[in-house]
């Protein structure tokens, strides 16, 4: 019964007998902005804990306890009565009533740092002792009511938009689920150890690529950070991440001959600038995910933002350095050269190895006579795997728009056909895969003459970088576009459904999916599940990533296996870096 319970966010009228104002109308009357900031950061840091993580709470347990505590502190018997009614309704109808979510915490924090920066920080530093005292006053005084009203008003920004999306049409329901979650999916799972391991491996690959292809840019980057070699940078950053992974929200750089270098590196994650306006998808917080609370003390707002800043921001840091040196190396070039031609190609080649395999990359001479070609073509007997690699980022504005039409338009624009601001549409990803397969019969003679078009079965695979593209439902939406294109072409070739795989899943699956047999079995299993979901019109959608983790990572006995392969590889890689630093 518990597993099938429904989660419902508490709305303002559920607990207050008054009209709701906008959040700012409550905030102006809250004297404890420092405490509010630290309390929200604490909630985010502990959001994986059972008392805050609503996915593990029966009937909303801890969330309702918080509200009862606040009702008592604010001497509000009506509020207490409403909370008791919610608890009784939850138990009777198997509903989990919740009100605290990472998304609303981040929305609240983004508003605070934009509108009350000078009130919260002094020269960019948070007075942690004063903030902690203010938390006590927020939780155990009448001001608690003001804080809760502001919080729930912020949550209504999202709730009200989502309630306007109701539909009974299955395709619309799928799109609405994507619209609901695409802006929050990357914050929903609290798999920080896996993210840490994956990002460490990707950063090593990235620096290896730079040392091979852009030595002068890499040298300038290291000089700007007072470092001699890139191995030292990766080790320092992994050390910082490990301290946050240990459960620490606050990190101090205590001692050591490298203390000043370490502090200088961490200061790049902090700002003393005043934010002029709120940005979509919490960009102010993402750009500055650490708060300084002492000369050598740093507080994490949200762990995943710190990890992303350390690693994902490398792209932008390197492009800035390249620009200073007059080297033409923008994000698009990096995405093409590193993500597509280096990282994806390397990991796919590790799976598809053997003397009988036909393995042709986009840059291969075999493709020189064709214009519509995939990033990677692999044939193993009569199974053809066609890959497109996309470093595409979904626009923050679309992610948090809660507008299904805008989300669908963005997905089509980035991953099917580029139309905006173009005289002539440009094919992308899904459409490229479809057209290559459609034209295979007449074109294969140029690059794979021994193939039999009437016998082969195609596996179209889109490998992506942006984690939000693993949001359940996106694979279904893009697969519908793929299938529609194939059907409209009249092609008689045999093909499987489109599968979208995040590059992180390939890294996580090392030791699990390391040969063709395992990958084929995995793809077929997922496609069967996805088709079953569609045929039954199930509301429980699955991306390849969420399905893979459920089957291969979370299942009892598999967790240890997946962790072993990933962290064994991470530890081996870091040890090699330590040896390299020691030698230098």
pLDDT, tens only, 78-127: 999 999 999 899 888 888 888 888 889 999 999 999 999 999 998 889 99
Q: For residue 155, what pLDDT band results from cuts at 50, 70 and 90?
A: very high
Q: Which two tokens stand for residue 300?
A: 């994490």
Q: How far apart are CA 245 and CA 303, in angstroms?
A: 8
Q: How far apart are CA 427 and CA 369, in angstroms?
A: 18
Of 240-249, 276-285, 451-460, highest mean pLDDT: 451-460
Q: How far apart are CA 491 and CA 228, in angstroms?
A: 57
- Alpha carbons within 13 angstroms on the beta-carbon side of residue 418 total 11
Residue 18 has pLDDT above 50, yes or no: yes
CB-based contacts of 164, cutoff 8 Å, min separation 6: none
Residue 2 has pLDDT above 50, yes or no: no
Q: For residue 556, what pLDDT band results from cuts at 50, 70 and 90?
A: low
How confident is the model over 329-339, as a mean pLDDT?
91
Residue 340 has pLDDT above 70, yes or no: yes
Residue 376 has pLDDT above 90, yes or no: yes
CB-based contacts of 23, cutoff 8 Å, min separation 6: 108, 111, 150, 151, 153, 154, 157
Which pLDDT value is given to residue 193? 82
* DSSP letters spanning 59-70: GGHHHHHHHHHH
Residue 57 has pLDDT above 60, yes or no: no
Sign of the torsion angle spanned by Cα atoms 536, 539, 543, 547: negative
| More reliable by pLDDT, 276 or 491 | 491
How confident is the model over 506-527, as a mean pLDDT?
89
Q: Which two tokens stand for residue 134?
A: 């203010």
Q: For residue 372, what pLDDT band results from cuts at 50, 70 and 90?
A: confident
Q: For residue 61, what pLDDT band results from cuts at 50, 70 and 90?
A: low
Which pLDDT value is given to residue 296? 87
Among 120, 150, 115, residue whose Cα is nearest residue 134? 120
Which pLDDT value is given to residue 56? 42
DSSP state, residue 539: S
Which pLDDT value is given to residue 487? 97
| More reliable by pLDDT, 556 or 246 | 246
Residue 558 has pLDDT above 70, yes or no: no
Q: How far apart are CA 10 and CA 30, in angstroms?
A: 22
How confident is the model over 561-579, as a mean pLDDT?
86
User: In 10 A of CB 348, how many CB atoms?
Assistant: 23
Q: What is the dihedral of CA 114, 115, 120, 122, to 10 degrees?
A: 70
User: In 10 A of CB 462, how many CB atoms?
Assistant: 27
CB-based contacts of 509, cutoff 8 Å, min separation 6: 548, 552, 562
How confident is the model over 349-375, as a mean pLDDT?
91
Which neighbouring-strand residues pair with 252?
A: 297
């Amino acid at each position: 019964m518990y597993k099938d319970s429904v989660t419902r966010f508490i709305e303002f009228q559920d607990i207050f007998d008054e009209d709701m104002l906008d959040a700012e109308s409550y905030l102006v009357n809250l004297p404890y902005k420092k405490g509010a900031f630290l309390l929200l950061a604490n909630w985010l840091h502990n959001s994986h804990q059972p008392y805050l993580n609503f996915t593990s709470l029966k009937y909303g347990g801890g969330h309702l306890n918080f509200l009862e505590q606040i009702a008592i502190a604010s001497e509000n018997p009506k509020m207490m009565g409403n909370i008791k009614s919610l608890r009784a309704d939850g138990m009777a109808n198997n509903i989990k009533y919740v009100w605290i979510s990472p998304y609303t915490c981040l929305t609240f924090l983004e508003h605070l740092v934009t509108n009350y920066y000078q009130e919260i920080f002094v020269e960019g530093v948070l007075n942690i002792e004063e903030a902690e005292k203010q938390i006590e006053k927020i939780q155990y005084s009448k001001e608690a009511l003001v804080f809760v009203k502001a919080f729930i008003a912020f949550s209504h920004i999202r709730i009200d938009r989502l309630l306007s999306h109701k539909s009974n049409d299955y395709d619309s329901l799928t799109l609405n689920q994507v619209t609901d979650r695409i802006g929050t999916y990357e914050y929903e799972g609290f798999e920080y150890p896996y993210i840490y391991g994956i990002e460490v491996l990707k950063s090593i690959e990235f620096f290896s690529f730079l040392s091979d292809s852009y030595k002068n840019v890499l040298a300038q980057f290291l000089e700007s950070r007072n470092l001699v070699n890139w191995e030292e940078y990766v080790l320092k950053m992994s050390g910082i991440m490990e301290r946050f992974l240990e459960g620490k929200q606050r990190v101090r750089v205590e001692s050591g001959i490298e203390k000043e270098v370490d502090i200088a590196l961490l200061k790049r994650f902090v700002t003393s600038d005043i934010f002029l306006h709120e940005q979509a998808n919490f960009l102010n917080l993402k750009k500055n995910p650490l708060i300084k609370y002492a000369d050598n003390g740093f507080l994490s707002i949200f762990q995943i933002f710190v990890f992303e800043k350390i690693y994902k921001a490398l792209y932008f840091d390197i492009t800035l350095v390249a620009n200073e040196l007059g080297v033409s190396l923008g994000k698009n070039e990096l995405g093409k050269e590193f993500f597509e031609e280096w990282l994806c190609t390397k990991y796919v080649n590790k799976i598809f190895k053997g003397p009988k395999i036909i393995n042709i990359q986009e840059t291969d001479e075999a493709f020189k006579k064709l214009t519509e070609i995939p990033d990677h073509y692999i044939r193993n007997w009569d199974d053809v795997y066609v890959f497109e690699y996309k470093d595409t980022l979904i626009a923050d504005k679309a992610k948090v728009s809660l507008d299904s039409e805008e989300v669908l338009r963005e997905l089509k624009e980035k991953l099917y056909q580029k139309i905006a601001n173009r005289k002539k549409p440009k094919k992308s990803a899904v459409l490229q895969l479809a057209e290559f397969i459609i034209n295979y019969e007449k074109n294969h003679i140029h690059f794979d003459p021994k193939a039999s078009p009437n016998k082969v079965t195609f596996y179209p695979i889109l490998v992506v970088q942006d984690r939000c593209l693993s949001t359940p439902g996106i694979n279904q939406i893009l697969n519908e576009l793929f299938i529609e294109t194939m059907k409209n072409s009249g092609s008689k070739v045999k093909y499987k459904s489109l599968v979208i795989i995040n590059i992180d899943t390939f890294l996580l699956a090392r030791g699990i999916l390391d040969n063709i047999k395992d990958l084929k079995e995995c793809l077929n299993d997922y496609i069967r599940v996805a088709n079953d979901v569609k045929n039954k019109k199930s509301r429980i959608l699955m991306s390849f990533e969420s399905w893979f983790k459920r089957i291969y990572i979370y299942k009892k006995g598999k967790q240890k296996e997946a962790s072993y392969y990933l962290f064994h590889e991470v530890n081996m890689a870091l040890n090699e870096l330590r040896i390299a630093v020691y030698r230098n």
